[in-house]
Structure formats: structure tokens, C-alpha cells
């Protein structure tokens, strides 16, 4: 998930104002607080993706928020700010759960770096969650019959290549297992393996699911979102029941297969990806 909502906690008006201008300039929602008590009121009624908090505040130590927020399942990434920084204090903050540490005065470019790091971190977390679920769902290809042995031989031939593979078969014949075995035997086995069930996603949302969307691209698109092809970059994507997608989307998918590029819904920036495509169909 991209960074969208930020809370800034600092008793210096100039710090709050400078961060507000830079963050709002990036179309981020910003809440400003001068004390811990004020911040806790905001946090109690809303959730934030990123927090900038000063160490020395009128009503306490800003780093106390690290331990207070630790039990929350959806806590923000916390960046600690201070004008009295030492290596020891920075290390202690990171060990206590801070995402980053910055010494005042800081530049706009330093904040830009933190925002990029936060976006990249959130994307990595999302990928790891998807991969964890995929590993839980994985089942090895079992059997020693002649057809199974022939199937294994075919998998071993095609797996090391970069070829796009279409796996055909009736429902329940193990198409997804075959795709998983191809992935596990490929040179991309230690890279992302992203599965998309084309039949389970509505036609209005599947393009966004494939390619992502920009903030404001359509009603309900309150934040920028990376699609499955971006998440699978350098790895493999499995398009399960690909024959269920519309002809219009098939044309866009053809461009990805041929050119390895696309634009997010509502965007005009061309995104290049290096993805191996596996697909299944029951037709």
C-alpha cells in the first residue's frame, strides 16, 4: 500500500509547516500536532501510514509512542526527528521499532528519500504476505504413474526456459499444481510468484488488479496501487483461468506479453516489467 496519510508531531511551528508543505505537495493527507496528547487523540480516531515525531515534546518523550503503538496491528511507520542526534540514540530508536531516524535541520531531499523508502517497504511487506499465503496453499505434484512421469519430464523441459506457458485442462485436473512445479523448477524460483484468479475478479476491477491504478483514477481509488504485474517484477505471474477475461483486456495483456510494458489505470507513465507469464484455462 502506498503512503497516503501522514501525522507530524513536533512543537516547532516551522518544522510542522515545512513538512506540511512538502507532504501536501505530494498529495498526501497530513495531520499536525504539537504534543503527544494531541497526537494520541488523532491516532485514536484515525489510522496513519507514516508518522514523523520529535524526541523532545512539551508533554514527554516522543519515542514513547514507539512502545505505545507497538501492540496495534496496523501501526504507522515511525520516523524519529531530533536536533540532538547521536549514533547511539539512532540505534536505540531503530531497535525500539522506529522505521527511520532524521536529524534536524533536514532537507526536502532527505524527506523524499524517506517517503520512497516507506513506499518500497510497504510494497515488500505486501509481496511477502502474498508469497506466505501462496506457500501455505502449495501442494507438491504426487504420483508415479506413467502419465505423471511424462508430465514431470515436460515440466523439467519447459521450466528452465523463459517461455510463456498455457496449461489447459478441465477443472480439478491440477493445472495450478503444474504451474507451481514449473515455477519451483525455474531460475526464478527464489523470486516472486504472484497468482491471479481471473474468474474471481469482476470485469470492472480486473484491469486495476493486473496493472494497478493511480490515485483518483476512478471512484474509490483513494490511493495509488501497484498491480500484480508490478508485484511480480523479476519473478513469475500465474493467470489462472485466463480465458475468463474480456477481449478488451486480452488486447492489453497481449501488449504486456510482447513488449513487457503497460500503464496503470488513470496513468500515463509507461512501466517496464521483467515477468514470466504462466496461464491456465479449462477451455
How confident is the model over 257-269, as pLDDT tens digits? Answer: 888 899 999 988 8
CATH superfamily to which 5-122 belongs: Response regulator (3.40.50.2300)
Mean pLDDT, range 232-243, rounded to an integer? 92
More confident residue, 33 or 122: 33
Q: What percentage of the chain has pLDDT greater than the value 90?
A: 39
C-alpha cell at 169: 485442462
* DSSP three-state, residue 30: strand
Residue 231 phi/psi, 5-degree rounding, is -65, -30
Query: Quick one: pLDDT at residue 147?
Result: 83
Q: Where in the chain is the domain with CATH 3.40.50.2300?
A: 5-122
Which residue is listed with cell 501497484? 226
* DSSP three-state, residue 59: coil
Query: Quick one: pLDDT at residue 85?
Result: 66
Q: Quick one: CATH architecture of 140-281?
A: 3-Layer(aba) Sandwich (3.40)
Q: Where in the chain is the domain with CATH 3.40.50.300?
A: 140-281
Nearest partner of 211 among 260, 153, 163, 147, judged by Cα: 260
More confident residue, 251 or 221: 251
Q: For the segment 74-118, what is each residue's pLDDT rounded down to a tens digit?
A: 788 999 998 876 666 777 777 778 888 898 889 999 999 999 888
Amino acid at each position: 500500500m502506498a503512503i497516503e496519510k501522514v501525522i507530524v508531531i513536533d512543537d516547532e511551528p516551522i518544522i510542522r509547516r515545512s513538512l506540511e508543505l512538502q507532504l501536501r505537495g505530494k498529495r498526501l493527507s497530513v495531520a499536525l500536532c504539537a504534543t503527544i496528547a494531541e497526537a494520541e487523540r488523532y491516532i485514536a480516531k484515525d489510522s496513519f501510514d507514516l508518522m514523523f515525531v520529535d524526541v523532545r515534546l512539551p508533554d514527554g518523550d516522543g519515542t514513547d509512542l514507539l512502545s505505545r503503538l507497538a501492540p496495534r496491528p496496523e501501526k504507522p511507520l515511525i520516523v524519529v526527528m531530533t536536533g540532538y542526534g547521536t549514533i547511539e540514540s539512532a540505534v536505540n530508536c531503530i531497535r525500539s521499532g522506529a522505521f527511520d531516524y532524521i536529524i534536524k535541520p533536514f532537507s526536502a531531499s532527505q524527506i523524499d528519500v524517506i517517503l520512497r523508502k516507506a513506499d518500497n517497504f510497504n510494497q515488500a511487506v505486501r509481496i511477502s504476505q502474498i508469497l506466505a499465503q501462496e506457500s501455505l496453499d502449495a501442494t507438491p505434484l504426487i504420483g508415479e504413474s506413467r502419465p505423471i512421469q511424462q508430465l514431470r519430464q515436460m515440466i523439467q523441459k519447459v521450466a528452465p526456459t523463459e517461455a510463456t506457458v498455457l496449461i489447459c485442462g478441465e477443472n480439478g485436473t491440477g493445472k495450478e499444481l503444474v504451474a507451481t512445479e514449473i515455477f519451483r523448477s525455474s531460475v526464478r524460483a527464489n523470486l516472486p510468484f504472484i497468482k491471479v484468479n481471473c474468474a474471481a475478479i469482476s470485469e470492472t476491477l480486473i484491469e486495476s488488479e493486473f496493472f494497478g491504478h493511480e490515485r483518483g483514477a476512478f471512484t474509490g481509488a483513494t490511493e495509488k496501487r501497484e498491480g500484480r504485474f508490478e508485484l511480480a517484477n523479476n519473478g513469475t505471474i500465474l493467470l489462472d483461468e485466463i480465458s475468463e477475461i474480456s477481449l478488451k483486456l486480452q488486447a492489453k495483456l497481449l501488449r504486456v506479453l510482447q513488449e513487457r510494458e503497460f500503464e496503470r489505470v488513470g496513468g500515463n507513465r509507461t512501466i517496464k516489467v521483467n515477468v514470466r507469464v504462466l496461464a491456465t484455462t479449462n477451455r
